[in-house]
């Protein structure tokens, strides 16, 4: 009997201990409000809202749900619409079919890209600018490379961006921990280099602070402004003077018509010692969904301690990337053959015609209009009006999606961007709707 009592008491004590432990676990879970005890990267909390283009898509969907019969035309995200040229598509189809044979099968390739493609990129785009094939790194696109570039540099460097500019430059800087909090206009710690009509969309470098990294895009997304040779010479001199690295985004270079505007930063003497250039087939050949681009890292570009940036970039690509698809690289190589180049230029010509149609329309209606000559984007001014309000107004009145300028930076407030990527039918219908809604403003 005495044994049973002790056993009962011990069992009760164990049960009580288990109960207390369970209560403690439940309380801990309740206190952390999540399912795990891992803290969120605080830098993501600095981002004010979703990435610009998904937010536009969300608002478009809400408008479509509210107006189910509306035929919405998108002049928002810069997504190509025309079919791939047959010559380029056939090259990828042949490469894909070849994988079904022992002779045509290939597995992992070089992370830096296939040799023939690297050579073709160097020859086609940089033959006049002195870049070698082993300085070309083939990738799945410029956007991904920008993120990898940020990872290579780490969280300590300071950053400058054109204002306005492609949001990825700022957002990846925030994610990496390079910035402070948002101050209601922009992020603390980022040097916003204002580009507006008053300075012909090129920043006053005499007023710009020295930073470790400068992001610069020409032709600029969203303004459509292409920097002249004199302006880029000034920019390279500024980077050399300050010992800064220039990350030059040339994603729209083939849209340049002005002979005074270089198509690569390496046309400027000394740029190879301060500049990385990134580019893409997305807007040249309709590869927005196919995914293929490249980044150029000259061997002459060296850190303060003399170590080559090229070696670190090679390490990033071989560690974090398994190489672009073999099939897609076959398409890229086809793009750079005589027939493929002719097809790419024809596609670019089509989108530039769209840009001129839009630019002429807005100009005739009395708007202040920029871009469109050397880029597939039209930058339209709505002075005194918040960009998101203009976006909402155009969507409501015209069933057309544009991009609010403020999404590209503080200096974009009061503007919207209209993309020339669209079928000719949709561009002409958009023009009809704009004229009907806004008429002549003069």
pLDDT digits (tens, 9 = 90+) for 187-211: 999 999 999 999 999 999 999 999 9
- The reported pTM is 0.91
Token pair 């801990």 is found at 28
Q: What pLDDT score does 83 carry? A: 97
- Give the pLDDT band of residue 5 (cuts 50, 70, 90): very low
Residue pair 140/148 in contact by the 8 Å Cβ criterion: no
Measured CA to CA, the distance from residue 264 to residue 254 in angstroms comes to 10
Residue 365, pLDDT > 60, answer yes
Residue pair 417/359 in contact by the 8 Å Cβ criterion: no
pLDDT more than 70, % of the chain: 91
What's the whole-number mean pLDDT along residues 46-62? 83
What's the whole-number mean pLDDT along residues 44-54? 79
**How much is the mean pLDDT over the chain?**
93
Measured CA to CA, the distance from residue 223 to residue 201 in angstroms comes to 8
Ranking 9-18, 219-228, 335-344 by mean pLDDT, the lowest is 9-18
- Give the pLDDT band of residue 97 (cuts 50, 70, 90): very high
Long-range Cβ contacts of 379-385 (<8 Å, 24+ apart): 379/222, 379/223, 379/224, 379/225, 379/405, 379/415, 379/417, 380/415, 380/416, 380/417, 380/418, 381/197, 381/414, 381/415, 382/414, 382/415, 382/416, 383/414, 384/414, 385/414
Measured CA to CA, the distance from residue 210 to residue 279 in angstroms comes to 25
Count CA within 13 A, CB hemisphere, residue 260: 5
Residue 17, pLDDT > 70, answer no
36 burial (CB, 10 Å; 0-12 / 13-18 / 19+) is exposed
Is omega for the bond preceding 346 within 30 degrees of 0, making it cis? Answer: no
- List, in order, residues 6 or more apart from 130 with CB less than 8 Å away: 266, 272
Residue 32, pLDDT > 70, answer no
Token pair for 102: 């022992």
Q: Higher pLDDT residue, 433 or 47?
A: 433
Residue 2, pLDDT > 80, answer no
Q: What pLDDT score does 226 carry? A: 98
- Give the pLDDT band of residue 49 (cuts 50, 70, 90): low
- List, in order, residues 6 or more apart from 108 with CB less than 8 Å away: 322, 323
Q: How many CB atoms lie within 10 A of CB 342?
A: 12
- Give the pLDDT band of residue 78 (cuts 50, 70, 90): confident
Residue pair 377/78 in contact by the 8 Å Cβ criterion: yes
- Give the pLDDT band of residue 142 (cuts 50, 70, 90): very high
Q: Which domains does the chain have, with CATH numbers?
A: 46-83+340-438 (3.90.1150.10), 86-337 (3.40.640.10)
Torsion of CA 397, 381, 249, 286, to 10 degrees: 30
* Chain-centroid distance, C-alpha 274: 21
What's the whole-number mean pLDDT along residues 117-126? 98
Q: Higher pLDDT residue, 2 or 82?
A: 82
Residue 320, pLDDT > 70, answer yes
Q: What pLDDT score does 3 carry? A: 44
Q: What pLDDT score does 1 carry? A: 45
- List, in order, residues 6 or more apart from 312 with CB less than 8 Å away: 152
Q: What pLDDT score does 53 carry? A: 80
Residue 63 parent element (H or E): helix 52-66
Q: Higher pLDDT residue, 388 or 442?
A: 388
Q: What pLDDT score does 9 carry? A: 45
Residue 34, pLDDT > 90, answer no
């Amino acid at each position: 009997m005495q044994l049973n009592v002790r056993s009962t008491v011990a069992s009760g004590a164990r049960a009580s201990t288990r109960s207390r432990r369970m209560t403690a676990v439940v309380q801990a879970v309740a206190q952390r409000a999540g399912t795990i005890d891992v803290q969120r990267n605080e830098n993501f909390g600095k981002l004010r809202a979703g990435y610009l283009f998904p937010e536009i898509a969300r608002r478009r969907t809400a408008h479509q749900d509210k107006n189910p019969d509306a035929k919405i035309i998108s002049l928002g995200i810069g997504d190509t619409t025309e079919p791939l040229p047959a010559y380029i598509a056939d090259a990828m189809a042949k490469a894909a079919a070849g994988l079904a044979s022992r002779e045509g099968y290939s597995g992992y390739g070089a992370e830096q890209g296939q040799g023939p493609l690297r050579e073709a990129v160097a020859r086609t785009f940089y033959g006049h600018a002195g870049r070698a094939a082993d300085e070309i790194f083939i990738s799945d696109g410029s956007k991904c490379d920008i993120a990898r570039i940020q990872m290579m540099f780490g969280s300590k460097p300071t950053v400058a961006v054109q204002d306005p500019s492609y949001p990825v430059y700022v957002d990846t800087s925030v994610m990496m921990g390079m910035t402070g909090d948002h101050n209601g206009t922009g992020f603390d710690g980022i040097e916003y280099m204002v580009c507006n009509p008053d300075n012909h969309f090129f920043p006053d470098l005499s007023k710009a602070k020295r930073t470790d990294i400068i992001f610069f895009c020409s032709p600029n997304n969203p303004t459509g402004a292409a920097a002249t040779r004199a302006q880029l010479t000034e920019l390279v001199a500024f980077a050399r003077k300050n010992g800064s690295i220039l990350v030059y985004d040339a994603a729209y270079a083939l849209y340049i018509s002005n002979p005074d505007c270089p198509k690569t930063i390496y046309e400027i003497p000394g740029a190879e010692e301060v500049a990385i250039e990134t580019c893409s087939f997305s807007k040249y050949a309709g590869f927005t969904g196919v995914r293929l681009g490249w980044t150029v890292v000259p061997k002459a570009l060296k850190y303060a301690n003399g170590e080559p940036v090229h070696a670190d970039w090679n390490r990033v690509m071989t560690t974090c990337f398994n190489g672009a698809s073999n099939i897609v690289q076959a398409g890229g190589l086809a793009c750079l053959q005589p027939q493929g180049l002719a097809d790419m230029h024809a596609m670019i010509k089509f989108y530039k015609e769209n840009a001129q149609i839009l630019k002429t329309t807005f100009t005739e209606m009395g708007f202040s209009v920029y871009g469109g000559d050397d880029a597939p984007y039209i930058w339209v001014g709505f002075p005194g009006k918040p960009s998101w309000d203009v976006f909402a107004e155009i969507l409501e009145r015209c069933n057309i999606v544009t991009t609010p300028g403020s999404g590209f930076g503080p200096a974009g407030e009061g503007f919207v961007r209209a993309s020339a990527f669209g079928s000719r039918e949709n561009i002409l219908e958009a023009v009809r709707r704009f004229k009907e809604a806004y008429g002549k403003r003069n």
